[in-house]
Amino acid sequence: MDEKYLFNVKKGETLHIVDQDGTYDQDLDPGIPEETLLKMYRMMVLTRTYDEKAIKLQRAGRMGTYPPCSGQEATQAGSVFALKKDDWLVPSYRDICSMITLGISMKDLFLVWMGDDNGNRIPEGINSLPINIVVGSQLLHATGFAWAANIKKENIAVLTYVGDGGTSRGDFHTSLNFAGVFNVPAVYIIENNGFAISTRNKQETHAETLAQKALSYGIRGCRVDGMDVIAVYVAAKEALDRARKKEGPTLIESLCYRFGPHTTSDNPDLYRTKEELEKIMSKTDPVVRFKNYLIKKGIWDDKKESSLQEEAGDLVNKAAKEAEETPPPKFEELFENVFGNMPDYLQDEIDHYRKVSGGE
């Protein structure tokens, strides 16, 4: 393990490499190749654009409920970039940037929020489970998935996320406990965005940090500045590498902030002031910070920025249009996917449906 990346959960130290103005710690900077950096930035900008479009579509009645992820792009992109080809992602509902970064199409992601079950059909070849809405329950799937890799002697790692609120559920405790006992190759990132809907950290736990919970499971834990994509990448990469080498699971608390409402049906004015939000957004924004870093490195400028923004807008609009124009699945398809082989009673129900609805 590389000494310079050691950080101590007990002391509550937070790994931080890049400042908001883009200056960075030369010693800690991992020297990610330029091409990779630009890809990472692209994913974050795409996601920010997607997020804004999704909210607009919902407000216009063209899409259902959507949980925005702005403010969390660095946590998500930074960790997914640390995955290797055969690794797996186990996302929650808010991990849009992770899913886009992994290569899931924005059209499919729109389809989910547009109420189309086909949006959750992750294409073969993309190593991700569908989004999960039952808070924290995906952690257990990640643990089991990684456990199977041990049994099958596969050298892969599994990456999963949970919100700060999700750490209050029994699922969090159980999955990390199993993870420790079975030494599974998984990395658990707590996206500490400050809120579980309206509930703040203080009302979720009496512990000083969420990372320190790792201690009680005998696994490694750390804290990272979640507005800093480089720091997240470094922490996630080290944890994933260790996992693949069977050196044990890691719990990472990534400190970020939810810029948007909990979902489009939430009214954040009831629990946080506009001043609080503006203060944080003006001081720290993961996308802006990364841009400043790229500029400091001399590989980004205004011209590149505006052409990326334009391209992102076009891609997102195209994806949304395609999703809107996609015909809904056939009702029958839902029956066909209850089991591998459809039992007679479901065929009877389809027949009944056709009779009542006047055929289809």
Partner 1 sequence: MPMMNNIQAVNDALMYEMEKDKSVMVLGEDVAQIGGVFRGTSGLLDKFGSERVVDTPLSENGIIGTSVGLALNGMKPVAEIQFSGFIYAGYDQLVSHASRLRQRSMGRFHVPLVVRMPNGGGVRALEHHSESYETIFIHVPGLKVVYPCTPSDVKGLLTSSIRDPDPVVFLEHIKLYRSFREEVPEGEYTVPIGKGRIARKGKDVTIVAWGAMVNVSLEAAKKLEQNDIEAEVIDLRTLKPLDKGIILDSVKRTGRAVIVEESQRISGYASYLSAIIGEQCLLYLKAPVSRVSGYDIKFPLYRLEEKYLPGPESVIHAVNNIMSF
Task: Give the active site residue among 258, 345, 352, 353.
Answer: 258
> Per the structure block, which two tokens stand in for 287?
């996308």
Residue 134 neighbours by CB under 8 Å, 6+ apart? none
Nearer to ligand TPP, 91 or 185 (CB): 91
> In the 8-state DSSP scheme, what is residue 64?
-
Please state, as a whole number, how many other Cβ atoms lie within 10 Å of the Cβ of residue 152.
Answer: 8
Asked if 262 is an active-site residue, the reply is yes
* Amino acid in position 282: S
> Per the structure block, which two tokens stand in for 97?
């940037």
What is the Cα–Cα distance from 310 to 176, expressed in whole angstroms? 43
Cβ 156 to partner 1, closest distance in Å?
27
Distance of CA 297 to the CA centre of its chain: 27
Nearer to partner 1, 105 or 326 (CB): 326
Answer whether 333's CB lies under 8 Å from 120's CB. Answer: no
Nearer to partner 1, 4 or 200 (CB): 200
Among 43, 57, 63, 135, binds ligand TPP (CB under 6 A): 135
Partners of 191 in beta bridges: 163, 254
Out of partner 1, ligand TPP, none, which partner does residue 171 contact, by CB within 5 to 8 A per kind? Answer: partner 1
Nearer to partner 1, 45 or 196 (CB): 196
Out of partner 1, ligand TPP, none, which partner does residue 193 contact, by CB within 5 to 8 A per kind? Answer: ligand TPP
Among 45, 196, 231, 316, binds partner 1 (CB under 8 A): 196
Nearest CA to 238 among 227, 254, 222?
A: 222
What is the Cα–Cα distance from 139 to 252, expressed in whole angstroms? 13
- Residue position matching structure tokens 């400050």: 194
Among 42, 121, 141, 169, binds partner 1 (CB under 8 A): 169
3-state secondary structure 280-345: HHHHCCHHHHHHHHHHHCCCCCHHHHHHHHHHHHHHHHHHHHHHHHCCCCCHHHHHHCCCCCCCHH
Out of partner 1, ligand TPP, none, which partner does residue 329 contact, by CB within 5 to 8 A per kind? Answer: partner 1
Binding mask 31-60 for ligand TPP (x = CB under 6 A): ------------------------------
Among 20, 105, 150, 168, binds partner 1 (CB under 8 A): 168
Q: Which residues bind partner 1 (CB under 8 A)?
A: 64-65, 93, 112, 114-117, 119-120, 133-136, 165-166, 168-171, 196-199, 203-205, 265-267, 270-271, 328-329, 331, 334-335, 338, 345-346, 349, 353, 355-357
Q: Which residues bind ligand TPP (CB under 6 A)?
A: 94, 133-135, 163-166, 191, 193, 195-197, 258, 262
